[in-house]
Amino acid sequence: MLTQFSYRDYRVKTALPVPEATSLVDDYLDRNLELVDALKDNPHNYVARVNTTSMPDLVLKEPRKRNRRRWERMMTRFRDGEALRVFDSHIKLEELEFHCPKAVLAAELREKGVVTDSFFLYQYQQGKPAMDEDAERVAHELQRLHSLGYTRGDPKAQNFLVHEGKVHFIDFKLSKPTVFKKHSTRMEYAHFLHTMPEGIHYLPESEKNAAGFKFAVWLRRSVSDLKRKKREWREYRQQPAYARKKRAVLIVLGAVVAYEMIFSAGSA
Give residue-wise pLDDT tens across range 209-228.
999 999 999 999 898 888 88
Helix, strand, coil share (%) of the chain residues, nearest 5? 50, 25, 25
Same domain, 215 and 246: no
Q: Are 153 and 175 in contact (CB under 8 A)?
A: yes
Same domain, 260 and 199: no
Within 10 Å of residue 225's Cβ, how many Cβ atoms? Answer: 10
Same domain, 96 and 148: no
Same domain, 114 and 147: no
- Between vectors from CA 31 to CA 105 and to CA 100, what angle results, nearest 5°? 30
pTM for this structure?
A: 0.84
Same domain, 195 and 255: no
Confidence check: pLDDT of 265 > 70: no
Same domain, 83 and 116: yes
Same domain, 28 and 96: yes
Amino acid in the structure at residue 184: S
Same domain, 208 and 226: yes
Same domain, 90 and 141: no
Grouping H, G, I as helix, E, B as strand and the rest as coil, residue 21 is helix
Confidence check: pLDDT of 268 > 60: no
Same domain, 189 and 242: no
Q: The domain that contains 164 carries what CATH number?
A: 1.10.510
The total of structural domains in the chain comes to: 3
Grouping H, G, I as helix, E, B as strand and the rest as coil, residue 82 is helix
The Cα–Cα gap between 236 and 257 comes to 28
Among 77, 97, 123, identify where a domain stops: 123
The boundaries of the domain holding residue 152 are: 128-231
Give φ, ψ of 128 to 5 degrees. -115, 145
Over residues 80-99, the mean pLDDT reads 97
Same domain, 94 and 140: no
Beta strands in the chain (DSSP E): 3-7, 10-14, 34-41, 46-51, 58-62, 103-111, 114-123, 128-129, 160-163, 166-169
Burial of 89 (0-12, 13-18, 19+ CB in 10 A): buried
Q: What is the pLDDT of residues 151-206, one digit of tens each?
A: 999 999 999 999 999 999 999 999 999 999 999 999 999 999 999 999 999 999 99
Q: Are 66 and 90 in contact (CB under 8 A)?
A: no
Same domain, 143 and 96: no
Beta strands in 151-195 (DSSP E): 160-163, 166-169
Among 123, 148, 176, identify where a domain stops: 123
Q: The domain that contains 89 carries what CATH number?
A: 3.30.200
Grouping H, G, I as helix, E, B as strand and the rest as coil, residue 209 is coil
Confidence check: pLDDT of 263 > 90: no
